[in-house]
Amino acid sequence: MTQHPIFQGVATALITPFDAQTGGVDYAAACRLIDWQIECGVNALVIAGTTGEGSTLSDEEHRELLRFSVERVAGRVPVIAGTGSNDTAYAIDLTRYACRVGCDAMLVVTPYYNKATQKGLIRMFTAIADASTKPIILYNVPSRTGVDIKPQTYLALAGHPMIRGIKEANGNISSVVETASLVGDSLDLYSGNDDQIVPILAMGGSGVISVLSNVLPRETAEICSRWFSGDAEGSRALQCRLLPLIQALFCEVNPIPVKAAMAAMGFCEDVLRLPLTPLEPEHRQTLLALLREYKVI
């Protein structure tokens, strides 16, 4: 763990609520979501990431949502802006904007579709970090982007003063172990998969960037707080108890299930942007049953 982590514990990868009538961002619902998350004890919020449907926000919407979120959070927790793109110049421009409006850190995903070699990843992340005045978390999610950041690439990037963390969602624990052995305390390691929070904490991780915490913020935070307080068994037991809901939240492409869950909880309308479509009826039935079981609805 670095000397000054961006956050320790849980950062919610927050959904972006949309208005069913206009199709635009529902800022009243966003206010409720932000305030509730902070009241429930999350340690940071990620805005306009994968779960926040950042890829289908217009540039104007993306920027306004970042500005609005910083204003609403008002310093209560760090605001981490999703500013990655497969267009490096655009990612640089959006990162500079997020810095100007007061975001505390950036989450920068690997390039998708055009992809990259490991050399290309190093050059891209370095260019974005050079342009940033705030720390950057590298986001590795090869199931979505088709490119995987290798452990040696993390090591090559670890010396940059603005590159401070990793959101690792490659699902490969062996790769995570190798990365941890190479980078040590020079980069903070965050789980990008809710079913791997405890395994990554066990490798010296600093927490999780979570989809689950949209629905169960207190419990997700507790997995981390128990671990950091020395209650490894309690942390492990809670991870296992929440596994059925974690699996249900990924029964279809994220954020389809979590949007359905948050709508059922009354926080937003179940509105997604194409190509995402509402949760299939059989999956909805299973998800709602689990939400009742966990006393969420």
139 part of the active site: yes
Domain boundaries, the chain: 9-229
Predicted pLDDT of residue 4: 77
Q: Which three-class secondary structure state does DSSP give residue 126? A: helix
Predicted pLDDT of residue 1: 64
Predicted pLDDT of residue 264: 98
* pLDDT tens, residue order, the chain (297 aa): 666 789 999 999 999 999 999 999 999 999 999 999 999 999 999 999 999 999 999 999 999 999 999 999 999 999 999 999 999 999 999 999 999 999 999 999 999 999 999 999 999 999 999 999 999 999 999 999 999 999 999 999 999 999 999 999 999 999 999 999 999 999 999 999 999 999 999 999 999 999 999 999 999 999 999 999 999 999 999 999 999 999 999 999 999 999 999 999 999 999 999 999 999 999 999 999 999 999 999
Tally helices (H) and strands (E) across the chain: 14, 8
Predicted pLDDT of residue 209: 98
276 touches 53 (CB < 8 A) = yes
Catalytic residue (one of 134, 154, 167, 190): 167
Q: How many Å apart are CA 120 and CA 269, to the nearest integer? A: 40
292 touches 245 (CB < 8 A) = no
Q: How many Å apart are CA 77 and CA 15, to the nearest integer? A: 17
167 part of the active site: yes
Catalytic residue (one of 113, 115, 134, 139): 139
Kindly state which CATH superfamily the domain 9-229 is placed in.
Answer: Aldolase class I (3.20.20.70)
Q: How many Å apart are CA 257 and CA 272, to the nearest integer? A: 11
Predicted pLDDT of residue 172: 95
Q: Residue 275: is the preceding peptide bond cis (ω within 30°)?
A: yes
190 touches 158 (CB < 8 A) = no
